[in-house]
Amino acid sequence: MSELKAYAVWDAGTRWFHWLNVLCVIGLMAVGLVILFGRDLGISGDGKVLLKTVHTLIGYVFALNLIWRFIWGFLGNQHARWQSIKIKRGFIGTVRQYLASIRAGRPEQYLGHNPLGRLSVVLLFALLATQMVTGLVLAGTDLFFPPLGHWIAQWVAAPGIDPGLLVANAPQMYDSAAYESMREYRKIFGTIHVYGFYTLAVVIVMHIVAVVVTEIRSGSNIISAMFTGHKILSERPQDEQH
């Protein structure tokens, strides 16, 4: 029987990001679904504005947390850094070797992300960044919130109306032609945001299933390690530095 050994892997910055991101994504998805199906649920125009406001406020926390993680990718420990998930030459061979170890019933163990996990993390970060950027644009076009709301308000304000006083769902304050032009500009961001939401939901489910299955098959504590920062492995990790 292999001897179990504990390794310090996930630093505090990475763990705090992970769980705050989980909470934000759950909140954003829940409120976003209600907004998406607001008409079917009988939600009024003012009710929808309130929901969008809540969605945006959670989104600001989500965005700041994600930006923090991008910065931490240059400052954190070796497993938090972007170098740890970089797709390098020979990566396909590493994936094949890892899959072969799974088929053989003895999955290779890693301190950081295994090869499939690295692909998952890259995809997740790309989707999260897409949702952040499109969400900030929509916050500006729907609610005139920062960082773009100031310019959007100047674009659509009716003559004689102070752009700084514009509020959502107040058509009497808008120049109708400019507002329609803005809504046309908004469409592509709204479409990307909605389809990005569905794609992210699917990828998150796949990520959770993969983590649970990997923990069961490899016998390592992948889930609890994101709380404690320590992985307990029974085999020599493939990415251990010598």
Q: What is the mean pLDDT of the chain?
A: 92
Does position 136 have pLDDT exceeding 70, yes or no? yes
In a domain, 90, yes or no: yes
Share of the chain above pLDDT 70, in %: 98
pLDDT confidence of residue 182: 96
81 in a domain, yes or no?
yes
- Band the pLDDT of 241: cuts 50, 70, 90: low
In a domain, 240, yes or no: no
46-50, 82-86, 139-143, 235-239 — which is least confidently predicted?
235-239
For residue 68, give its domain range. 5-233
The structural domain count of the chain equals 1
Backbone angles phi, psi at 16, to 5 degrees: -65, -40
Whether the predicted pLDDT of 89 surpasses 90: no
Inside any domain, residue 242: no
Domain CATH number, residue 227? 1.20.950.20
Task: Work out the average pLDDT over 130-158.
Answer: 97
What six digits make up the tokens of 22?
């989980």
Q: What is the pLDDT of residues 22-76, one digit of tens each?
A: 999 999 999 999 999 988 889 998 999 999 999 999 999 999 999 999 999 999 9
pLDDT digits (tens, 9 = 90+) for 170-215: 999 999 999 999 999 999 999 999 999 999 999 999 999 988 888 8
